[in-house]
Amino acid sequence: MKKIRSATFTILASTVLAAVDSPAQAQTAPPPSGEAAAPVQSVTITGSRIANTRTQEALPVSIIDAAQIDAVGSVSGDDLFRSLPQAGDVNFQEARTTGNLNDARGDNASINLRGVGTGNTLVLVNDRRLILTPGTQTENFVPVQTANTNSLPVGAVSRIEVLRDGAAALYGSDAVAGVVNVLTDQKFKGVRLQGRYGSAKGMDETSGAIKAGMDTTGGGNVQMFASYTKRTPLMASERSFSASENHLPDMAGTDWSADTGFDNRTTSSPWGSFTAVTATGATATVKQGTATLTSSGVFHVEPTSNTDAGCSSTVYNSNLCLKSGGITGAADRPLRYDENPDRSIRGGLDRFNAFSSFRQPLGENELFGEANYYQAKLRGMREQSAPISSAVITIPASNYWNPFGPSSSPNRLPNLTGVPAEGLPIRITNYRPVDTGPRTYTVSDDMGRGLLGLRGDLGEFKWESAFSYARARTDDNTHNAISNTLFQKQLGLKTAEAYNPFNGGTQGTYSLGDGTSNPRSSIDPFLVEVHRISTTSLTTWDARFTTPKLFSLKSGDVGLATGAEWRRETYSDDRDARLDGTIKYTDSVTGRAYDTDIMGASASPDVKASRNVIGAYAELAVPVVNPEMGIPAIRSLDLQIAGRAERYSDFGNVAKPKVAALLEVMPGVRLRGSWSKSFRAPNLPQFYSEGSSVSNTRTDWAACRLNGGTCGGASSLEVRAGNNQLKPENSETSSAGLALQPFKWLGTTFDFWQLKSTGVIGILGGQNQLLYDYYLRQNGSSNPNVVRLAPVGTQVIGTVDYINDNYFNLGPRTMKGWDFAVNLDSGTTKNGRFRMAASVAKLVTFYQAPSEIQQMLMDANDAGKLGTGITITRAGDLIGQGANPRWRWGSNFTWNKGPVTVGLNVTSVGSYYDTGTALVNGSYYKVPSFTTAAAYTQLRMAKDGGLLSGAELRLGARNLFDKAPPITSSNFGFNGALHDAVGRYVYIEIARTL
């Protein structure tokens, strides 16, 4: 296969470069950047509900048509939308390593226009809202939802229209950054069969599709499409950049060569760290002779061969010892566990997509409908989890392998002081039971949707009404998970069947695997299956009326669109009984109960919520000036005026307006601009969830300053919950642009845009909550969100029990940028037809203002009122940081002549600063730009009556030059929200229309 891929690369590169070098022979379809203003584009309606009006051209709309889809070479919505320069980071994707069971795993992909944030882009299918995927995950510490782009039937799509402008005045919630309207093929006739095989290093993919269309008696039409894709998993070990979590070797020769931010190996390893405690829970000081074995009770298992670290105890098991303290410092860094060998970057996948539509005259009206079904099963792998501080596990003194066990135990170390005859219990500080094997998970996604409607004419009006229902379900099933209760039970055995966490890991290659595994008889009793079953549903009814001629002015006809919509949204998140508090874990040593019984997973209660929404809109297309009026410097002027009001059953009313204008100065020279207000309603999890518990290391400045003592980090329990007092995130969008068409075959556009948002939903943060408590206590009050225990002894204030950190509306955010696009179509010439489209998107400003409380704390700290040593996490300029590169661009070329078509698609993501790294000379590590190309060559066979008569044979590749993504400080070594780890993917495809 390696030779085949190499040969294919050579053929494709030579063919494509030959086509590009000779413009007269090149052709392409509009790229991800294809502009609505281009002379060869289809008429778009996404920016307006009034068809065939000039006001449609007042808005920035990008087109992805069939040729663009072909050039990208994608069979998934994720691959397709990543080629759009205005697409931001993709946070719903498989390369995330956070969240585990609390993440939206599986065949999920999001779209985030402009990088405004997941959930701020509205996705439509044939002009109607697409259901949200049941899975949620956190962005900015709050749960977000998205439409799943992988559920879209790519092979049934005729084109995709991307409105890069706020559109709540027409579509309602979520249309903040813009609208993506997926339009399926309504005109195909015949039967088309398609098969594909593709391969990249370590991964294979096979897909097949059938498409059929036919006219019916009476002038109707039926369209049907079905596809199936099967993909093998891609393991992290298959790529050099992700084979290890330690990326420091890649930083050699840079200023970050010693930045441990590039080493993500974890201290939760088989070389466990533990804390010896007394019967009262106090930390114990243990000595062996004169040697102290613990530091504040903490010790860890050390291989004697790691001579740089040394031992505190005598040797046991011939090659192990105990070392005082945790796994810290350079000497013990090799003991950190490397999780990547246990991880898949992409899971094995089976995906089925089906879509059908029909329209049939019914008297003077037309009955129409749609049905689609999506099913996917993804199988992935992750490292085994480790205990977390929000569910502490204590090893009973009776554990057979306890080095501080009872005096009768054969494994108690000799000559101990500070350890009573009955032994000491030991609290797990950092330990990972790697010998269980990795966790695997199977995520099953199902989505079904049906729509039935009727349309017709009523005088000058066209009307349409439809009812739809969609339901999506996700079952996230983790195999090989660990029950805290059963694990502790196995730890408590007094015989050799007890689980032994003190036997270390792999000698020599300390960070890889566990070479001293426990027997399966000690492991299997505490392994369990875990399910998280989530569902969403969307029920809608709408009625729409439109006319291009409501009445006439001297300047032309005034068009009107108006309509009403009702929808019901539901959300259910049914967590496993071991996660939602039904089956609790109670530490048998301390007696403390915890709501989670799954190792490594925070407790999360079930959520069940719903809401009803009623909305109405109106839009006017008003011609102000036409060419016949002969007004100097104004050939024509058209206005779009629109507004929409919605009533939500849970938080009230919202109303948003929009105004857009198109000014034609002379033929081929147009100015356009728009102003609108948009909103994103709080999603159901943000509004209704009872909250989940997480543990983080925080400094309680009030306690250490008021009680006296050393200020240092300690584990704090934080409860993040929904807030039924949330208000919508409100946004104001404006844009101004220039569209030029100097020649029939050439069009260019330039648009500047600005987005100002207020009330962005987030949290204050656990550390800021503690600082706010300290600030208020200096002024005679306290923060009610910091819940403390009663003071003990000489304490002035008690120890923190937990912190309530509920979701609320934060401070304003401002984003600015511009887009440039050029489109060229040579038309048919003796050298064939050449088409080119290119687009550049630049993010100029991304500023997040602090909330009122954040600003208060920042001012107090700057004035020295909080004392020294305090750093406050600030908002501010986010441009070029994290997943917010300044530049993105894409271009698309196709050339065809007779039976031969050649296509090339190039996309580029600009450089940005990795904020997970250390500051060197005041700067984070700069992640370089990343540019990839996709190409294909297609040959259409002659219709000679043979087996391949009229068949289309295609040879293509994505990431043609096999470029590895740039290194980052993330676990996998690349940013999966912006870049792809697959590498060169070569495919061969055959299709035939019967």
Q: Kindly report the three-state secondary structure assignment for every residue of 37-89.
A: CCCCCCCCCCCCCCCCCHHHHHCCEEEEEHHHHHHHCCCCHHHHHCCCCCECC
Structure confidence at residue 41 (pLDDT)? 35
Does residue 82 contact residue 31 with C-beta atoms inside 8 Å? no
Q: What percent of the chain is predicted at pLDDT more than 70?
A: 95
Same domain, 136 and 277: no
**Residue in the block written with tokens 């698609």:** 905
Structure confidence at residue 26 (pLDDT)? 30
Helical packing angle, 766-777 and 852-862, nearest 10°: 60
Does residue 612 contact residue 649 with C-beta atoms inside 8 Å? yes
Residue 70 confidence class, pLDDT cut points 50, 70, 90: confident
Report the C-alpha gap between 502 and 483 in whole angstroms: 19
Does residue 960 contact residue 947 with C-beta atoms inside 8 Å? no
pLDDT surpassing 60 at residue 219: yes
- Domain interval for residue 417: 271-336+388-430+482-523
pLDDT in tens, 698-742: 889 998 888 887 787 777 788 888 888 999 999 999 999 999 999
Residue 680, CB-side half-sphere exposure with 13 Å CA sphere: 30
pLDDT in tens, 233-282: 999 999 999 999 999 999 999 999 999 999 999 999 999 999 999 988 88
Same domain, 851 and 953: yes
Does residue 216 contact residue 208 with C-beta atoms inside 8 Å? no
Rg (CA), the chain: 31
Nearest to 196, CA basis, from 838, 927, 987: 987
**Residue in the block written with tokens 């590749």:** 957
Structure confidence at residue 818 (pLDDT)? 95
Mean pLDDT of 976-983: 92
Does residue 210 contact residue 192 with C-beta atoms inside 8 Å? yes
Which of 498, 523, 548 delimits the end of a domain?
A: 523
Same domain, 149 and 94: yes
Report the C-alpha gap between 990 and 208 in whole angstroms: 10
- CATH code of the domain covering residue 664: 2.40.170.20
Same domain, 857 and 893: yes
Structure confidence at residue 1 (pLDDT)? 45
pLDDT in tens, 55-66: 777 788 888 888
CA distances from 690 to 100, 609, 693, 780 (A): 19, 11, 10, 31
Which of 502, 523, 544 delimits the end of a domain?
A: 523
Is there a domain that residue 424 lies in?
Answer: yes
The partner residues of 113 in beta bridges, in order of sequence, read: 87
The two tokens of residue 7 are: 């040969």
Is there a domain that residue 66 lies in?
Answer: yes
Nearest to 429, CA basis, from 279, 296, 334, 316: 296
The two tokens of residue 112 are: 């985030």
The two tokens of residue 898 are: 């007779």
pLDDT surpassing 60 at residue 7: no
Report the C-alpha gap between 106 and 376 in whole angstroms: 8
CA distances from 961 to 12, 519, 661, 889 (A): 10, 47, 44, 18
Residue 45 confidence class, pLDDT cut points 50, 70, 90: low
Burial category of 463 from C-beta neighbours within 10 Å (exposed 0-12, middle 13-18, buried 19 and up) = middle
The partner residues of 348 in beta bridges, in order of sequence, read: 379
Per-range mean pLDDT, top range of 108-122, 803-817, 897-911? 897-911
Residue 696 confidence class, pLDDT cut points 50, 70, 90: confident
**Residue in the block written with tokens 């050439």:** 746
Same domain, 846 and 974: yes
Residue 80 confidence class, pLDDT cut points 50, 70, 90: confident
The DSSP letter of residue 878 is -
Structure confidence at residue 885 (pLDDT)? 93
The two tokens of residue 538 are: 């969307």
Is there a domain that residue 538 lies in?
Answer: yes
Structure confidence at residue 615 (pLDDT)? 97
The partner residues of 561 in beta bridges, in order of sequence, read: 546, 619
Structure confidence at residue 370 (pLDDT)? 97
Nearest to 727, CA basis, from 623, 648, 625: 648
Report the C-alpha gap between 345 and 801 in whole angstroms: 38
pLDDT in tens, 651-682: 999 999 999 999 999 999 999 999 999 999 99
pLDDT surpassing 70 at residue 455: yes
Structure confidence at residue 138 (pLDDT)? 81
Is there a domain that residue 934 lies in?
Answer: yes
Structure confidence at residue 16 (pLDDT)? 36
Same domain, 233 and 276: no
pLDDT in tens, 363-409: 999 999 999 999 999 999 999 999 988 889 999 999 999 999 999 99
How far does the chain reach from its first CA to its final CA, in angstroms? 32
Same domain, 452 and 366: yes
pLDDT in tens, 624-657: 999 999 999 899 999 999 999 999 999 999 999 9
The two tokens of residue 186 are: 């309504």
Same domain, 573 and 629: yes
Nearest to 534, CA basis, from 131, 817, 992: 131
Residue 38 confidence class, pLDDT cut points 50, 70, 90: very low
Query: At 263, which amino acid appears?
Result: D
Does residue 657 contact residue 635 with C-beta atoms inside 8 Å? no
pLDDT in tens, 112-169: 888 888 889 999 999 999 999 998 888 877 888 999 999 999 889 998 999 999 999 9
Lowest pLDDT segment from 31-35, 130-134, 481-485, 985-989? 31-35
Is there a domain that residue 657 lies in?
Answer: yes
**Residue in the block written with tokens 């220039």:** 738
Is there a domain that residue 229 lies in?
Answer: yes
Report the C-alpha gap between 764 and 749 in whole angstroms: 41
Same domain, 850 and 978: yes
Residue 259, CB-side half-sphere exposure with 13 Å CA sphere: 24
Same domain, 366 and 410: no
What total number of domains does the chain contain? 2
Structure confidence at residue 711 (pLDDT)? 80
pLDDT surpassing 90 at residue 293: yes
The two tokens of residue 741 are: 């068409």
Structure confidence at residue 883 (pLDDT)? 80
Same domain, 632 and 519: no
Which of 471, 492, 523 delimits the end of a domain?
A: 523
Return mean pLDDT, the chain.
90
Same domain, 594 and 450: yes
Query: At 407, which amino acid appears?
Result: S
Is there a domain that residue 31 lies in?
Answer: no
Q: Phi, psi (5° rounding) for residue 172?
A: 90, -150
pLDDT in tens, 16-27: 333 333 333 333
Is there a domain that residue 713 lies in?
Answer: no
Query: At 945, which amino acid appears?
Result: G
The partner residues of 355 in beta bridges, in order of sequence, read: 225, 372
